[in-house]
Amino acid sequence: MIPALFVLAYLAIVLYIGIFAFRRSSGQSEDFFLAGRSLGPWVFLLSLFGSHMTAFAILGSSGHAFNFGIVTYGLMASSSALVVPLCLLFLGTRLWSVGKRFGLITPVQIFRDRWECGHIGTLIFFLQAALLVPYIIIGVMGGGTTLSVISGGFIPFWLGGLIVALVVMSYVFFGGMRGTAWVNAFQTVLFLSFGAIAVTLISQGMGGFAAVTERLLNNPNTASLLTRENFSLTTFLGYTFNPLSAIAFPHIAIFCLTARKVTQFKRTVIFYPICLLLIWLPCVYLGVAANQATDIPAIEAKIEAKAATGRPVPGDDVLLQLLGRYAPVWVAGLLGAGIMAAVMASDSQILALSTMFTEDIFAFYGGKDKFGERAQIATGRLFVVLVTAFAYFTALNAKVAIFDLAVQYAFAGYAAMAPLFVAALCWRGSTKWGALASTLFIAASTFALYLLPRGFTIAGFAPVVPMTIISAALVWGVSSLTPKPSTVTIDRYFPPSSV
């Protein structure tokens, strides 16, 4: 129960940060949705990174490594270390630039302005929103599960989920983007510190790093986890397409617009890989090391089940189990708060959905002109409450596996949307019809994936690879054959002096 008290204290702190941010707000929509485009360099780096890292970065990565070994790091961390900063450097800075120049707040507003379209933008809104909802539900579920496990079952899942949902809803409701960014920056500091402490304590408890690795190497059942021989090179290559999703996630794209200056991207682009290293390396190593923690009954049962069936087992709790066994109670409490910080990444997603609804639907279809800016912010806040309530009640009544699956497909969908951003921001020749063709293809293929058997591949590649390539080909091919936006619009986005 003591670790749960640390987590509850942590929740109180983030709630206070949200309320404090509320006091700094000016009451204007750009201030609520984008923190007045005023975030400083370190808050921008930490909050952008924190909003990108979900529960998967800590719990899921160690669980994946428990089943598949060290390949997890190369699959997800080092590939992101190359692709995500490149997206931020070449696309994020352009998003910031056009957002600032033309007063735009969401990606759909940029698409509408760039391609001179209305309803096609609405279609892109619905696709982005539909792909985002499963992430929010998973976040609420993760919060309930973490609080329940950390309290030893004293706090039931429904209450844990409710507490987390209410805290997130409150600081997003009051603090808007400023509250969310400050909380995310605080959370990132917490879970960056978490990795080093956790790996040191747990490895000491297991007899030291070298002894753990030697035991893993000497055991025929675990030696392959320290190589990647059980994983195909084609699958490994295909995973490098997943990080393209980063720039198409609405909460990341919108975050790109919050920087005070474009030069603040420099620090983010350079330090992003280092932040990834600090979180993922300890979590992946500990996930693999858990295969030697046979003195923990829950982990021993998982190891036996893996050996008996030859299939992966649910492993997202192995890190929590290791902490419970090897860390002192107060340290487990602090680390539990660090895990909770990662689990609560749903805050920026809820805010992004609210921003998109109020700007892309409410304001676009006349709500802002009719009812004014205050009504627009009130609508955004109401939407935050509705989305959180929907996510909570869905989380209570659904199986986690359903949304785990949906998130995987959503990942592929967002990665396939990356060509839309490249086309809008980097290519003068792109058209709304190319965007429409790509959007319809992504919607249809993501839905088809949901119906196809799990693990479906094309020529050995995960679906994200052909989906992204076909999406890019459609934008290019259809744009080449259809009329371009007016020269005035194209020149606004690509001034003659720009490269």
Check residue 82 for interaction with another protein (CB under 8 A): yes
Question: Nearest Cα to 72, choosing from 231, 244, 291, 202?
Answer: 231
- Spell out the residues 6+ positions from residue 402 whose beta carbon is closer than 8 angstroms to its own: none
Helices (H), 398-431: 400-426
Q: Is 222 exposed, middle or buried (0-12, 13-18, 19+ CB in 10 A)?
A: middle
Check residue 335 for interaction with another protein (CB under 8 A): no
- Candidate ranges 17-25, 222-230, 307-315, 380-388; the one touching another protein (CB under 8 A): 222-230
Bridge partners of 490, per DSSP, are none
Check residue 459 for interaction with another protein (CB under 8 A): no
86-115: which residues touch another protein (CB under 8 A)? 86, 89-90, 93-94, 96-97, 100-101
At 72 the three-state DSSP class reads helix
- Spell out the residues 6+ positions from residue 80 whose beta carbon is closer than 8 angstroms to its own: 242, 243, 246, 276
Q: What counts of helices (H) and strands (E) characterise the chain?
A: 25, 0
- Candidate ranges 27-35, 75-83, 140-148, 428-436; the one touching another protein (CB under 8 A): 75-83
Check residue 223 for interaction with another protein (CB under 8 A): yes
- Candidate ranges 74-82, 138-146, 190-198, 437-445; the one touching another protein (CB under 8 A): 74-82
> How big, in percent rounded to 5, are the helix, strand and coil portions of the chain?
80, 0, 20
Check residue 252 for interaction with another protein (CB under 8 A): no
One residue of 218, 309, 487, 497 binding another protein per CB under 8 A: 497
Check residue 381 for interaction with another protein (CB under 8 A): no
Closest to another protein by CB, 252 vs 384, is 252
Phi, then psi, of 29 in degrees rounded to 5: -65, -40
Check residue 326 for interaction with another protein (CB under 8 A): no
Total interface residues for another protein by CB under 8 A: 52
Note whether 456 and 449 are within 8 A (CB). yes
Closest to another protein by CB, 91 vs 387, is 91
386-415: which residues touch another protein (CB under 8 A)? none
Check residue 322 for interaction with another protein (CB under 8 A): no
Note whether 134 and 402 are within 8 A (CB). no
- Candidate ranges 81-89, 169-177, 362-370, 464-472; the one touching another protein (CB under 8 A): 81-89
One residue of 274, 301, 402, 458 binding another protein per CB under 8 A: 274
Query: And the tokens for 426?
Result: 């980097």
Which position has the token pair 């400083």?
Answer: 40
Note whether 247 and 92 are within 8 A (CB). yes
Looking at residue 115, its amino acid is W
Note whether 400 and 141 are within 8 A (CB). yes
Residue 210, Cβ neighbours under 10 Å: how many? 9
Check residue 196 for interaction with another protein (CB under 8 A): no
One residue of 24, 266, 325, 484 binding another protein per CB under 8 A: 266
Cα(439)–Cα(119) distance, rounded to whole angstroms?
12
Cα(227)–Cα(414) distance, rounded to whole angstroms?
30
One residue of 74, 312, 314, 367 binding another protein per CB under 8 A: 74
Looking at residue 215, its amino acid is R
One residue of 56, 73, 171, 383 binding another protein per CB under 8 A: 73
> Least separation, in Å, of the C-beta of 241 and another protein?
11
> Least separation, in Å, of the C-beta of 74 and another protein?
5
Check residue 229 for interaction with another protein (CB under 8 A): yes
Binding site for another protein (CB under 8 A): 70-71, 73-74, 77-79, 81-82, 85-86, 89-90, 93-94, 96-97, 100-101, 209-210, 212-213, 217, 223, 226-229, 233, 236-237, 240, 261-263, 266, 269-274, 276-277, 281, 284-285, 495, 497-499
